[in-house]
Structure 1
Amino acid sequence: MPRAEDSQQLEANDTQSPSNEMPDRDTMRTMIDCVRQDVIDIEAFYNCNFSSTRTQRLKDYFNSTLSGLLAVPYARLDLEGQTDYVLLQKYLHRQLRGLKAFESAHKELEPLVEPFASVLVTLLERRQSVTPMTGKYAADVLSASTTEARGRCAKIRDGKLQMSGDEARFAAYRAVDVLHDLLRLMREWFEFYNGYDPTFTWWVAKPHELLLGALQELAETIRKDLVGMDNEDGNAIVRQPTGRDSILASLDAQFIAYSPEELIKIAEKEYAWCEDEMIRASLELGCGRDWKTALELVKNMYVEPGQQTSLVHELAEEAVAYVKKHDMVTIPAIAEKCWKTYMMSPKRQKANPFFLGGESIIVSYPTDTMSHEDKLMSMRGNSRPFSRSTVFHELIPGHHLQYHMIARYRSYRSLFSTPFWMEGWAFYWEFLLYDSDFTQKPEDRIGMLFWRMHRCARIVFSIKFHLGEMTPQECIDYLVDKVGHERAAAEGEVRRSFNGDYSPLYQAGYMLGALQFRAMRQDVVDNGLMAEKEFHDRVLKEGQMPIEVLRALLTGKSLRKDHKASWRFYDL
């Protein structure tokens, strides 16, 4: 099949007219494979995120692909093909909506970086297409851009260019990213010509050096004077709430049939269950009904310095042994044995105070360079009971097993990656193992309940922040008060949630995805459609997608081509 943007119009989708002509069973898979690679190629060629040309090329591509998709005879696709059709159509609409929002957001940066940023992007794109240009022309552009960047610095320092309010502060924060991107790309641009065109180097070497200095100075000035970040350690928490309309659009894209307010109610209901369980475990530990006292006891069950990596491997083997003993999911030998361990840097721990993982595991533990207080907070935040579920969440049967299977089965569906599938699956296993005899000791139950409370809190603070109902500081306080986080860990959690490029629903995906998996299990396993192991293996082999769509596929339900979220997986 040709690439999607070059596809000829396919047979019209007239479900009433008879036809013996059926789409090839690989029609949709081929189209999705083309989209995946085409988007990679477009973004690699137009490699400046600030480029209006890049945005337009992507818009043209997605619109053209959508037209080709709509011509596919949906009713004649098999169930797998219809699933892929629904997923691809939702993906294309989501990308087009995202590009529109991206263009709007970039207009907010114009007072800080335009017009010189767009002029420099033109140079970068001429280099990409190897369009001839003289050294003098390039030097003129660099010199003029340097003057503009320096002038912008002076205006900011003199108070003539001000941006007030959280929205403006976040725009300034994004402007710094644009300038850093330009710095990186202009260095690569210069090296492409340097030495290979002696006349070019003669003209451009000094203007290029001055431009880099001016861009760096402007980035630092914006960061300090407009964002309010005095150093490079990234301690400040900067993010603009996306608003209710954006959350609703994200819910639609993820096939979640609940409002933001209903999601908060789900989180609060789950939290109340966790608190009751915490009290029960606290009583068993002799701490009475004061579960926070029991939590403090469990935090101090950490291993001595140098022993954390050994603990990780011990806990990983324990989880694998339990899952294999009860034949809960297939664990390929390579997945079981071939994962590596890395240590997380002190700087990275500021945003990621706990373990990370997937293809490998990255262990969060203090080093000798950290203060005494930070060491203790890190050790307490990664105690043995806390780490027990973190390890199998990140490795097997969680993310490492997911990544292993994604690479081998329907990998083309990685285009439809969603935190509800990715994070929800790993957290779903925390549900299963909590309810089993894997978790017998009260301290282990408290460790798992801590994470469960944490995921409830993530729904509340992330959605309320994006609704404009909580500030970052209130989010930190909420985590400390409701979950019992160490304050530095709470700060890192909120910083990671808002300073990165996470979608508004990413942090909600853990708990809500797990609840979806649990509800789907009830529909499929408890109703006798599949055995437990068959269900788990099938989920992994079908690949990534919103779980409502996966549920329809597993139960053999055909979806409308314009399917909208309708599954109420949780009773409020």
Structure 2
Amino acid sequence: MGVDEEGWVVIPSPNRRPSCPTKLATGAYARSPAPSIEPIQDRIVRVVADLKELKAYYKLETSVARFERLYCFYGSELDALREQPFDGYTQEEKVDYLLLQNYLARALRTLGLDRERDEAFADITNPFALTIMEWAEARMRTEKLDAREVAASFHELVGKISSVRDAVLDRDPNKYSREAGYRAANSVVQLRHHLAEMVDFYKGYDPQFDWWVSEPYGRLDAALMELSAFLREELVGIQPGDKEAIVGQPIGREGLLTELKAEFIPYTPEELIKIAEKEYKWCESEMIKASKDLGYGDKWRDALEHVKNLIEPPGGQPVFIKSLIDEGTDYVKKHDLVSVPKVAEEAIRMTMIEPARQKVSPFFLGGNRMQVSYPTSEMSHADKLMSMRGNNRHFSKATAFHEMIPGHHLQLFVAKRIRPYRRLFNTPFFVEGWALYWELLFWDRGDYFTLPEDRIGSMFWRMHRCARIVFSLNFHLGKMKPQECINLLVDWVGHERSAAEGEVRRSLNGDYSPLYQAGYLLGALQLWELRKEVVGSGKLSEKTFHDRVLRANFMPIAMLRALIMGKELDREFESEWRFYGDI
């Protein structure tokens, strides 16, 4: 990312440059008055608070006003940050500076890329969307509207939507990608939501508004609902009522490289896929060893089927999972591996995942509380068996501590109490990498996964994380379709098909960042290498190392390495750390 001759940060953006009324003649962005030297921690806290307010006010996701305001905000904060006295900072402050700089630069790039993707279907939505957004933004400004004018506009928009449908039907077959159509359909859903919020604000409080607007609004709302379904069917291929379709939005190789740069990971997507394939081969060899111990020889998939059927009976799963949580907690305390605050251990809660959510969360989850996935009485017989088999005793042993202590529960507990402002820099390589790192450590110690069934359960999950790297990166590279991703999980790992579908749906439905699924194993491997550098060299004890990682709070692992090892930092820090051996 650079700066042009006028002082604008150069990012992928639509043809129309944002108009920033607060831009100074010097080319910098104007900003609210602030102390000439603002403590970096206070700056991060303020940026978080300001962003929360701005995003709540400019909440129309695809509006030009939102894009321009956020563009100006990120740019002005980046300009102001670069005026700060970096060389006078402590190591912790330098890390905070670099984290904030990276966050703002990444936000600008993402903003531009999102805008560019919206431009791909703008001719579908602009004929009606721009007017709807103008009305919604007028409501946000609490303007007094002319109800008759609103009614006439809504009436006209119904006709424009009808014309859009005709244009889509008459289009060049190659004009819109499936992903652009999916994004367009979702954009229409968002517009419908914002329009409803606007009408609800005035309805009932303004008699003139009700009299004029109710009928044309009803027709406009129905037209938008029908258009969204039409776009999903015509451009995406999703039939009406189909809630199981998986589409996703690949970001391409350049998009992945941009994301990897923001994570300070100097590898290409292709290199990361090779790492995953190499790790998978090692996992398969360990699977075969455990399979032989169970009497299945080289046929580890048969041994895996045996383990899947070692299930807890209905009603027994919560108590069993709690016993596993206690086992993991007792283990790290007994071996003095990490500090466990009393409240973190004491206040563990548990809930059950409802059947509908199990379609995207087929396995149990953790964090603030343990969320247990287990079939309910109304689920079909086949779904019950798949859920029980996918959450069997030995799969669960390998993940209960991942989710709770020393995994996510402990991690989030500390993150809320020590340097909580760094939660802005959330990254799956730190969050998921930390929890999976403990799976690697427990395995390496040799005294936790002692039964061959337990070793199979552990290797199942590590193979799963290898497959996640392969299918997610290949999907974003345009080399794999969702169904191929599902097949990979079934064929490589031995997933139940419904669980594989849920995993891919969760990975690609837009709730997770493109690198999220790759972050589990790659983050764990980064922490594993850092542990060798720090603990293996005798610089820190194992417990001190783990406590230091937790107390650092969220950040890319390369930045964590620089912090813990006291690496020299400058404003343009870029990592060259190749954390994995021979690929």
Return the offset for 1:521. 1.1
1:293-352 CA distance string (max 9 Å, x none): 111111111111222222211111111111111121122222213233222232222222
Aligned residue pairs total: 553
Aligned counterparts of 1:341 and 1:145: Cα–Cα separation in 2: 49
Return the offset for 1:241. 2.4
Aligned counterparts of 2:371 and 2:123: Cα–Cα separation in 1: 40
Q: Which residue in the other structure is 1:116 paired with?
A: 128
**Alignment CA distance shift 1:150-1:204 (3 Å):** same
Q: Which residue in the other structure is 2:392 paired with?
A: 383
Q: Which aligned pairs between 1:8-19 and structure 2 lie closer than 5 A?
A: 10=36
Aligned counterparts of 2:474 and 2:278: Cα–Cα separation in 1: 16
Q: Which aligned pairs between 1:94-109 and structure 2 lie closer than 5 A?
A: 94-109=106-121
Aligned counterparts of 1:384 and 1:179: Cα–Cα separation in 2: 45
Return the offset for 1:46. 0.7
Q: Which residue in the other structure is 2:323 paired with?
A: 314
> Structure 2: which amino acid aligns with 1:555?
M
State the Cα RMSD in Å.
Answer: 1.9
Structure-2-length-normalised TM-score? 0.91
Q: Which aligned pairs between 1:63-462 and structure 2 lie closer than 5 A?
A: 63-153=75-165, 156=168, 159-161=169-171, 164=174, 168-436=177-445, 437-462=447-472
Aligned counterparts of 2:97 and 2:307: Cα–Cα separation in 1: 49
State the secondary structure of the residue aligned to 2:356: helix
Aligned counterparts of 1:280 and 1:455: Cα–Cα separation in 2: 20
Aligned counterparts of 1:378 and 1:231: Cα–Cα separation in 2: 27
Aligned counterparts of 2:252 and 2:167: Cα–Cα separation in 1: 31
Return the offset for 1:199. 1.5
State the secondary structure of the residue aligned to 1:346: coil
Q: Which residue in the other structure is 2:555 paired with?
A: 545
> Structure 2: which amino acid aligns with 1:549?
M
Aligned counterparts of 2:571 and 2:504: Cα–Cα separation in 1: 38
State the secondary structure of the residue aligned to 1:342: strand
Aligned counterparts of 2:249 and 2:141: Cα–Cα separation in 1: 36
> Structure 2: which amino acid aligns with 1:223?
R
**Alignment CA distance shift 1:232-1:563 (3 Å):** farther
Return the offset for 1:162. 6.5
1:449-495 CA distance string (max 9 Å, x none): 10000001111111112112222222222211111111221222122
Aligned counterparts of 2:100 and 2:375: Cα–Cα separation in 1: 44
Aligned counterparts of 1:313 and 1:473: Cα–Cα separation in 2: 35
Aligned counterparts of 1:506 and 1:5: Cα–Cα separation in 2: 33
Q: Which residue in the other structure is 1:14 paired with?
A: none
State the secondary structure of the residue aligned to 2:371: strand
Aligned counterparts of 1:184 and 1:310: Cα–Cα separation in 2: 42
- Runs of 5+ unmatched residues, structure 1: 11-22
1:406-428 CA distance string (max 9 Å, x none): 11111111111100000000100
Q: Which residue in the other structure is 1:514 paired with?
A: 524
Structure 1 window deviating more from structure 2 (141-150 vs 130-139): it is 141-150
> Structure 2: which amino acid aligns with 1:538?
R
Q: Which aligned pairs between 1:476-495 and structure 2 lie closer than 5 A?
A: 476-495=486-505
Aligned counterparts of 1:272 and 1:289: Cα–Cα separation in 2: 14
> Structure 2: which amino acid aligns with 1:118?
L
Return the offset for 1:532. 1.4
Contact 2:249–2:510 (Cα < 8 Å) also in 1: no
> Structure 2: which amino acid aligns with 1:70?
R
- Runs of 5+ unmatched residues, structure 2: 1-28
Aligned counterparts of 1:356 and 1:154: Cα–Cα separation in 2: 45
Contact 1:7–1:68 (Cα < 8 Å) also in 2: no
Sequence identity of aligned pairs in percent? 48
Aligned counterparts of 1:296 and 1:239: Cα–Cα separation in 2: 31
Contact 1:135–1:199 (Cα < 8 Å) also in 2: yes
Q: Which residue in the other structure is 1:15 paired with?
A: none
Q: Which of 502, 506, 511 in structure 2 is aligned with 1:501?
A: 511
1:263-283 CA distance string (max 9 Å, x none): 112111111111111111111
Aligned counterparts of 2:123 and 2:210: Cα–Cα separation in 1: 32
Q: Which residue in the other structure is 2:5 paired with?
A: none
Aligned counterparts of 1:68 and 1:149: Cα–Cα separation in 2: 44
**Alignment CA distance shift 1:163-1:180 (3 Å):** farther
Return the offset for 1:161. 4.5
